[in-house]
């Protein structure tokens, strides 16, 4: 499919800032939504302010687009009351607004924290049961489950991206396995937006890393090109038994005291 009008939530965030210049090329409209207006709009970009906890605002942002890239969320581990609004209510509002507006494709930004309690090296492809490493990861599992339900019950086309370590370059040894380069993130989202004949898919978002744990994607045609190994010299870090690394620690996030 080739969407012409695309909404991107969380438009002021780190990932969206990287995606914007590449994705707006060739679109009739790239509608950017966040709590505040993004700076320096470039045609065909437009702005649609929306708090994800406000369903009516989300519906207004969604109306009239062909596809939604849902990036908006609390993106780190936090207490439940912090995560619940944007990540739980917000995810429902986006999927329900898309159903009512007959949106053709939803690209949902999930996270590898949805499966962070798997041991290091286990080759995950999204078919295994979720094993989130915290409340943030569990909220992403909830979003994936919503996407699965909306695909099965209402016929929406949903691609869930379990995004790895999205950085300009890896910062520690663990990220030599989980790194997603900026260029490969663009390739990933483009593939998720345009793949044909997808009802529901979970895709691991990581570059073509020599030490990558996860098999190549067979759902949307994502073909990464970068390899974290070129940044390996000088990296250090602790050895952890879980794919989430330090995020799997009992005290991570401060809420489980």
Catalytic residues: 136
Count of CB atoms situated within 10 Å of the CB of 36: 9
Residue 109 to residue 218: CA distance in whole angstroms: 18
Q: How far is CA 209 from CA 22, 98, 123, 165, 234, in A?
A: 23, 34, 13, 12, 17
Nearest to 45 by CA among 63, 66, 62, 23: 23
Count of CB atoms situated within 10 Å of the CB of 138: 19
- Residue 79 tokens read as 């207490």
List Cβ neighbours of 248 (8 Å cut-off, separation of 6 or more). Answer: 116, 117, 133, 134, 240, 242
Q: How many residues does the chain have?
A: 257
Residue 87 to residue 113: CA distance in whole angstroms: 14
Contact 17, 80 (CB under 8 A): no
């Amino acid at each position: 499919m080739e969407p012409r009008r695309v909404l991107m939530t969380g438009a002021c965030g780190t990932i969206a800032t990287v995606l914007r210049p590449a994705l707006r090329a060739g679109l009739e409209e790239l509608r950017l939504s966040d709590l505040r207006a993004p700076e320096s709009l470039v045609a065909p970009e437009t702005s649609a302010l929306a708090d994800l906890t406000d369903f009516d605002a989300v519906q207004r942002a969604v109306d009239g687009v062909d596809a939604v890239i849902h990036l908006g969320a609390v993106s780190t581990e936090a207490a439940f009351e912090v995560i619940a609004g944007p990540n739980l209510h917000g995810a429902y509002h986006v999927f329900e607004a898309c159903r009512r507006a007959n949106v053709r494709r939803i690209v949902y930004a999930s996270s590898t924290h949805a499966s962070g309690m798997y041991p290091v090296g286990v080759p995950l492809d999204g078919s295994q049961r979720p094993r989130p490493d915290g409340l943030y990861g569990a909220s992403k599992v909830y979003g994936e489950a919503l996407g699965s339900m909306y695909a099965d019950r209402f016929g929406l086309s949903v691609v869930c991206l379990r995004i790895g370590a999205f950085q300009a370059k890896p910062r520690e040894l663990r990220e030599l396995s989980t790194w997603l380069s900026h260029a490969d993130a663009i390739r990933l989202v483009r593939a998720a937006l345009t793949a044909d004949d997808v009802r529901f898919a979970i895709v691991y978002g990581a570059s073509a890393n020599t030490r990558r744990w996860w098999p190549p994607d067979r759902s949307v045609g994502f073909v990464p090109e970068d390899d974290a190994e070129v940044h390996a010299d000088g990296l250090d870090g602790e050895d952890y038994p879980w794919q989430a690394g330090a995020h799997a620690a009992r005290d991570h996030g401060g809420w489980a005291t």
